[in-house]
């Protein structure tokens, strides 16, 4: 392959500053979203007398600040990503031939790329938080993030990105002559979304079983049990969003391989 | 162009059935999600009360497992219904446009782009198969959450509608002052998330006042975390609603056109 993501990223060097800022704002937005129920969990513990570390007033103030910060970050990220996407075509020397390919490149480099990084960092932060209470639950969380954030997207990209093997379902889909490309894409997305929901629910159930067993053994206190469950249940948002945008990643390999080479262009001219 | 609103459902034709089914399975998925949260909250309450080994925990986990599969099946079914709705609307519209063109004595390919263009049918189909069910589902989900919050604690239930009312007033005032749609959208998440935060604060204060149990409080928090807080992350496409309505308006105008008249009918 003459082009790669790294090569394109080099071309987008002038945008690196903005992309980094957008990444941090997005990370902050997602962390605030997760911290709202977590802080509420700590407030419950404070009210029922299981934790005296933070005052209720402080926790309530934290919840409101997180909500406002999340709203602000979401707006700023959207604005910043729109600006990044607008500048991408002028910086790419090797322009794709059709408009749709350019849209995929814009979507990937302005949004999906940073979303993957945010999902990874966000997952690490949650694993560190869970480590505070019990190593086993932290390991369970880590494995769930690896399955939903690495294995599932990999399989999705592999299948959506032009796998030759067809399942019975795909064959049935082909028989429906009226299905347009966009509708097929919707089906693939819904399959991924349904699988993601199934897996996250399965991991939540596993986490609850682990928490019950650890609590009964006396190796985990009630504070740990509550915060672990609340934090874990609220932590899948960036991974779900990442999976929703994987079509851009799946199309990317194909588009990059079709990009006209600059050297070839120059020699031809 | 004036649009006969009463004619809009007639454009759905066969697609109406799929739109209803789509909304229904999405609502079932929401109900299953809430059932799962109920099971989790009940388990955590049981742990606090020292009933961790009881039948309650087992029942809760079984309910959660059932809800998990229901949600999986509902998401898959919802997409199928959405596609079927889109196809049914498209087929029905093409058929009606061709018949109307024949009645008017014109060739479909020769219809003036100003009256009806190629994208109108797909925009209308998208509006009815995707945007309209989304709007109905959002209203239904909000109502469901309101009823559940009312059952748990009526004071908590009132916070979100109050926040939504404030949001609508702010948008209306901004619209009056001639602000852009983009500027208005800036404030929508801020009302949304502040509303969610204030709901959480209210339920915490109610817990402190012993007006609500731990499981009730946890249910409110987890429902908001699962269904409301991630809402803003999904892309909003404010243009698809007016575009869809405009396209359906043009189709209705064309279908209501009388032979020999060029103007739009109401």
| Mean pLDDT on B161-172 | 84
| Mean pLDDT on A185-204 | 85
Kind and range of the H or E element at A38? helix A16-47
Q: Which residues of B touch A229 (CB under 8 A)?
A: 40, 44
Which residues neighbour B55 within 8 Å (Cβ) at sequence distance 6 or greater? none
Determine what percent of chain B is predicted with pLDDT higher than 90. Answer: 24
Range with lowest mean pLDDT among A109-113, A159-163, A228-232, B247-251 = A159-163
Q: Which two tokens stand for residue A31?
A: 């962390």
Q: Which residues of A touch B32 (CB under 8 A)?
A: none
- CB atoms closer than 10 angstroms to residue A81: 22
Residue contact B83–A187, C-beta within 8 A = yes
| Mean pLDDT on A169-195 | 67
Residue contact B72–A194, C-beta within 8 A = yes
Distances from the Cα of B123 to the Cα of B120, B149, B207, angstroms:
5, 37, 48
Range with lowest mean pLDDT among A51-55, A257-261, B126-130, B137-141 = A257-261
Distance of residue B79 Cα from the nearest chain A Cα, in angstroms: 6
Split at pLDDT 50, 70, 90, the class of A35 is very high
Q: Which residues of B touch A205 (CB under 8 A)?
A: 61, 64-65, 68
B3 compared with A82, residue with greater pLDDT: A82
pLDDT, residue A143, reads 96
Q: Which residues of B touch A62 (CB under 8 A)?
A: none
Split at pLDDT 50, 70, 90, the class of B99 is confident
Nearest CA in chain A to B186: A75
Residue contact B197–A67, C-beta within 8 A = yes
pLDDT, residue B66, reads 85
CA geometry: angle B187, B191, B194, nearest 5 deg: 130
The answer to whether the beta carbons of residues A175 and B60 sit under 8 Å apart is no
Q: Which two tokens stand for residue A50?
A: 């299981």
- CB atoms closer than 10 angstroms to residue A109: 25
Prediction ipTM score = 0.84
* Range with top average pLDDT, A156-165, A235-244, A246-255, B164-173: A235-244
Residue A192, domain member (yes or no) = yes
- Return d(Cα B27, Cα B29) in angstroms, integer: 5
pLDDT, residue B92, reads 79
Split at pLDDT 50, 70, 90, the class of B168 is confident
Q: Which residues of B touch A194 (CB under 8 A)?
A: 71-73, 75-76
Q: Tell whether the model's pLDDT for residue A163 goes beyond 50.
A: no
Q: Tell whether the model's pLDDT for residue A228 goes beyond 90.
A: yes
- Return d(Cα B142, Cα B146) in angstroms, integer: 6
Residue contact B192–A71, C-beta within 8 A = yes
| Mean pLDDT on A59-69 | 94
Split at pLDDT 50, 70, 90, the class of A1 is very low
The answer to whether the beta carbons of residues A129 and A231 sit under 8 Å apart is yes
As a whole number, the mean pLDDT across chain B is: 79
Residue A178, domain member (yes or no) = yes
First-residue to last-residue Cα distance in chain A: 22
pLDDT, residue A148, reads 92
Residue contact B57–A212, C-beta within 8 A = yes
Residue A269, domain member (yes or no) = no
Of A74, A209, A237, the CB nearest to B61: A209
Q: Tell whether the model's pLDDT for residue A101 goes beyond 60.
A: yes
As a whole number, the mean pLDDT across chain A is: 82
Residue contact A183–B200, C-beta within 8 A = no
Q: Which residues of A touch B75 (CB under 8 A)?
A: 190, 193-194, 197
- Return d(Cα B134, Cα A260) in angstroms, integer: 40
Burial, A142: exposed, middle or buried (Cβ in 10 Å; 0-12, 13-18, 19+)? Answer: middle
Q: Which residues of B touch A60 (CB under 8 A)?
A: 201, 204
A-B CB pairs within 8 A amount to 157
* Range with top average pLDDT, A182-186, A250-254, B67-71: B67-71
Residue contact A237–B230, C-beta within 8 A = yes
Q: Which two tokens stand for residue A156?
A: 């999705």
Distance of residue A66 Cα from the nearest chain B Cα, in angstroms: 8
pLDDT, residue B198, reads 93
Total of domains in chain A: 1
Residue contact B230–A241, C-beta within 8 A = yes
Q: Which residues of A touch B163 (CB under 8 A)?
A: none
Q: Which residues of A touch B199 (CB under 8 A)?
A: none
Range with lowest mean pLDDT among B37-46, B77-86, B181-190 = B181-190
Residue contact A194–B226, C-beta within 8 A = no
B191 compared with B212, residue with greater pLDDT: B212
pLDDT, residue B263, reads 44
CATH number at residue A177: 1.20.1560.10
Q: Tell whether the model's pLDDT for residue A179 goes beyond 60.
A: no
Residue contact B76–A198, C-beta within 8 A = no
* Range with top average pLDDT, B100-104, B170-174, B197-201, B244-248: B197-201
Distance of residue B193 Cα from the nearest chain A Cα, in angstroms: 5
Q: Which two tokens stand for residue A76?
A: 């700023």
Residue contact B198–A64, C-beta within 8 A = yes
Range with lowest mean pLDDT among A180-184, B39-43, B128-132 = A180-184
- Scan for tokens 């700590």, then name that residue: A42
pLDDT, residue A231, reads 95
Domain boundaries, chain B: 5-144+238-255
- Return d(Cα B63, Cα B36) in angstroms, integer: 7
- Scan for tokens 């309209």, then name that residue: B132
Of A63, A205, A216, the CB nearest to B68: A205
Q: Tell whether the model's pLDDT for residue B199 goes beyond 90.
A: yes
> Domain range holding A22?
5-263
Distance of residue B214 Cα from the nearest chain A Cα, in angstroms: 8
pLDDT, residue B256, reads 72
Which residues neighbour A110 within 8 Å (Cβ) at sequence distance 6 or greater? A19, A22, A81, A82, A84, A85, A88
3-class secondary-structure state, position A1: coil
Residue A268, domain member (yes or no) = no
Q: How does pLDDT run across A103-136, given as a tens digit for each residue? A: 778 888 888 888 999 999 999 999 999 999 999 9
Of B44, B224, B229, the CB nearest to A229: B44
Q: Closest by alpha carbon to B215, among B99, B46, B5?
A: B46
Residue contact A233–B68, C-beta within 8 A = no
Q: How does pLDDT run across B29-46, given as a tens digit for each residue? A: 999 999 989 988 988 888
């Amino acid at each position: 392959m003459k082009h790669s993501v790294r090569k394109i990223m080099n071309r987008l060097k002038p945008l690196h500053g903005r992309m980094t800022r957008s990444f941090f704002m997005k990370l902050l937005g997602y962390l605030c979203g997760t911290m709202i129920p977590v802080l509420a969990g700590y407030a419950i513990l404070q009210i029922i007398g299981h934790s005296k570390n933070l005052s209720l007033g402080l926790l309530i103030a934290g919840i409101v600040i997180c909500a406002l910060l999340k709203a602000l970050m979401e707006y700023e990220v959207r604005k910043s990503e729109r600006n990044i996407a607008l500048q991408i075509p002028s910086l790419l020397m090797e322009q794709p031939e059709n408009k749709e390919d350019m849209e995929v490149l814009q979507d990937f480099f302005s949004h999906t790329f940073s979303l993957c990084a945010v999902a990874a960092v966000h997952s690490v932060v949650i694993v560190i938080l869970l480590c505070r209470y019990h190593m086993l639950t932290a390991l369970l969380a880590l494995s769930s993030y690896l399955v939903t954030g690495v294995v599932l997207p990999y399989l999705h990209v592999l299948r959506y990105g032009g796998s030759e093997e067809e399942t019975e379902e795909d064959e049935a889909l082909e028989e429906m002559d009226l299905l347009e490309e966009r509708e097929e894409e919707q089906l693939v997305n819904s399959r991924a979304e349904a699988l993601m929901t199934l897996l996250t629910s399965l991991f939540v159930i596993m986490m609850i079983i682990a928490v019950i067993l650890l609590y009964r053994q006396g190796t985990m206190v009630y504070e740990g049990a509550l915060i672990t469950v609340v934090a874990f249940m609220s932590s899948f948002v960036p991974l779900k969003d990442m999976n929703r945008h994987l079509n851009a990643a799946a199309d990317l390999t194909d588009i990059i391989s079709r990009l006209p080479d600059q050297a070839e262009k120059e020699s031809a001219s | 162009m004036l649009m006969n609103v009463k004619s809009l459902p007639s454009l759905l034709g066969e697609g109406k059935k799929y739109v209803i089914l789509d909304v229904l399975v999405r609502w079932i998925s929401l109900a299953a999600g809430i059932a799962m949260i109920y099971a989790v909250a009940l388990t955590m309450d049981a742990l606090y009360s020292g009933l961790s080994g009881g039948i309650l925990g087992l029942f809760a986990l079984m309910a959660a497992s059932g809800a998990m599969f229901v949600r999986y099946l509902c998401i898959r079914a919802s997409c199928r219904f959405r596609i079927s709705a889109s196809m049914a609307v498209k087929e029905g519209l093409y058929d009606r446009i061709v018949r109307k063109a024949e009645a008017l004595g014109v060739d479909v390919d020769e219809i003036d782009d100003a009256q009806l263009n190629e994208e109108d049918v797909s925009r209308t189909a998208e509006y009815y198969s995707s945007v309209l069910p989304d709007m109905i589902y959002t209203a239904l989900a909000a109502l469901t959450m309101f009823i559940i919050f009312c059952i748990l604690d009526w004071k908590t239930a009132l916070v979100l509608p109050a926040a939504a009312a404030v949001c609508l007033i702010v948008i209306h005032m901004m619209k009056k002052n001639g602000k852009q749609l983009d500027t208005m959208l800036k404030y929508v998440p801020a009302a949304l998330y502040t509303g969610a935060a204030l709901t959480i604060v209210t339920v915490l204060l109610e817990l402190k006042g012993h007006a609500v149990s731990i499981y009730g409080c946890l249910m409110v928090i987890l429902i908001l975390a699962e269904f409301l807080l991630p809402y803003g992350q999904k892309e909003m496409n404010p243009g698809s609603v007016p575009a869809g309505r405009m396209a359906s308006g043009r189709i209705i105008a064309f279908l209501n056109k009388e032979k020999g008249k060029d103007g739009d009918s109401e």
